[in-house]
Homo-oligomer: A and B are copies of this chain.
Amino acid sequence: MSVPRSVAAHRAAVVELLTGVAAANGTEHLPLLDALGKALAVDIHAPVSLPPFANSQMDGFAVSSAEIPDGGAELRVAAPVPAGAAPEPLKPGHAAPIMTGAMIPDGADAVVPIERAVPNSFPQPGAVDAVVELPATEPGTYVRNAGSDIAAGALALPAGTCLGPAQLGLLAALGLTTVEVRKPLRVLLVTTGDEVVEPGRELATGKIYDSNSTLLEASMRQAGLEVLRSGISDDDPAGLLAVLRNHTGSGQGNDTADLIVTTGGVSKGAYEVVRQALAPHHVEFVPVAMQPGGPQGIGNFEGTPFLGFPGNPVSCLVSFEMFLRPALSLVHGAPALRTVQKARLVGTLTSPDGKHQVRRGTVGIDGSVRLEGGAGSHLVHALARSNALVQIPSHVTELPEGAEVEVWML
């Protein structure tokens, strides 16, 4: 039995495994909204400044600040400047009604809000010889300068940015309609085990329904992966190898996987199909000092990167969240890393010495976290009530009520 690997060391190994795949996988240009949740492939520099021109932050009067002494001044009301118009230059002795977002006319350098004008409303359209009394104002007041958000040529978004609504909104504001993103990896997901039955079928004695496929496919889709499903593979190593060869190597077109993920068959029992099938290939089976999710397979099957997760559903989810998901974030830039926060433990907790324990819990709005279910890796109902993974470092063996723990929000 080899010495268990730390969580960090195994995560680093998964990062290394994915680094090569990511580089080989290439990029694609997508319309902005199709890129939601994906990783930007290249640095984007601003093709225009934002704002593109100096504009008003308020509804009010555009003025030349130097024309208004400390005591205020009466100015003639010029033609109004609506948003979207190219205004005439401001003539001396005039103030131009200007709307929020409208271009500051040449000759103006400040805006006085309508509330501070006398009268405090705009003249009716067509009114002639209207005048307005305005207070003194500093140059630049209520003016959004051109380029004050970003100047043309500056870095707008670095490669590897995860493109959410705000980032796509910025690209639209810059006038872009498409964006170059990293292509999603295609994962072949194989659930193994003689005991596992597809949901919807009859459940014979000793059998359980396959929840891993649904749990992991949903997690992978949320993380931006494409998922190929092969159905359930039984405990025959030759059958499993045939399934894997169906989706790897060349000549399979769209059915070819960039990464294989299996569940089950990686432990020390007498019928460990993944271990039996893959050990003769370039796949290692390593104990990781983590509970649940300790036994892990990692390597390369005939040229395709391979990860073997344990068979219990909670172990699968923990393996995904602790290894594959953060590695995707680090290597591709998407999905975003999980939000990490501190929470106060409700109740007490024990944890095995030398193992990083990952418990499931519900973080409340008050910053407390209540554990859901025990440590057992089969407790999928307890998992479904949880909104966070609770991280207990390997040297911690017990925690009192109210202890501060790190939680990863799901």
Q: Which of A244-252, A345-353, A381-389 contacts B (4 or more CB under 8 A)?
A: A381-389
Render A370-410 as a binary contact track against B, CB cut-off 8 A, 1 for contact: 00010010111111101100000000000000000000011
Across the interface, A170 reaches (CB within 8 A) one of B102, B164, B342, B383, namely B383
| B-chain residues with CB within 8 Å of residue A313 when the two chains form the complex | 169, 173
Across the interface, A209 reaches (CB within 8 A) one of B114, B150, B175, namely B175
B271 touches A82 (CB 8 A): yes
Q: What is the chain B residue whose CB lies nearest that of A113?
A: B268
Rounded to whole angstroms, the CA-CA distance of A217 and B363 in the bound complex is 29
| B-chain residues with CB within 8 Å of residue A156 when the two chains form the complex | 381, 384
A317 close to B (CB within 8 Å): yes
B164 touches A102 (CB 8 A): no
A381 touches B172 (CB 8 A): no
Render A28-51 as a binary contact track against B, CB cut-off 8 A, 1 for contact: 000011001100000000101011
Q: With A99-B271, A215-B172 given, is the CB distance from A149 to B381 under 8 Å? A: yes
Rounded to whole angstroms, the CA-CA distance of A390 and B76 in the bound complex is 43
Q: Which of A6-14, A199-207, A299-307 contacts B (4 or more CB under 8 A)?
A: A199-207
Across the interface, A157 reaches (CB within 8 A) one of B53, B169, B384, namely B384
B170 touches A32 (CB 8 A): no
Rounded to whole angstroms, the CA-CA distance of A212 and B317 in the bound complex is 36
| B-chain residues with CB within 8 Å of residue A341 when the two chains form the complex | 339, 341, 367
A48 touches B211 (CB 8 A): no
B36 touches A221 (CB 8 A): yes
B384 touches A167 (CB 8 A): yes
B339 touches A339 (CB 8 A): yes
| B-chain residues with CB within 8 Å of residue A210 when the two chains form the complex | 172
A206 touches B380 (CB 8 A): no
| B-chain residues with CB within 8 Å of residue A219 when the two chains form the complex | 165
A208 touches B36 (CB 8 A): no
B376 touches A57 (CB 8 A): yes
A65 close to B (CB within 8 Å): no
| B-chain residues with CB within 8 Å of residue A205 when the two chains form the complex | 53, 86, 103
Across the interface, A52 reaches (CB within 8 A) one of B168, B177, B208, namely B208
B221 touches A383 (CB 8 A): no
A194 touches B84 (CB 8 A): yes
Additional A-B contacts beyond A82-B271, A86-B205 (15; CB < 8 A): A33-B214, A52-B207, A59-B268, A82-B194, A84-B195, A86-B204, A86-B206, A97-B270, A166-B380, A168-B218, A170-B383, A172-B210, A177-B199, A177-B200, A339-B363
In order of increasing CB-CB distance, the 9 nearest A-B pairs are A169-B215, A84-B195, A84-B194, A173-B211, A165-B218, A172-B214, A83-B195, A86-B205, A170-B384
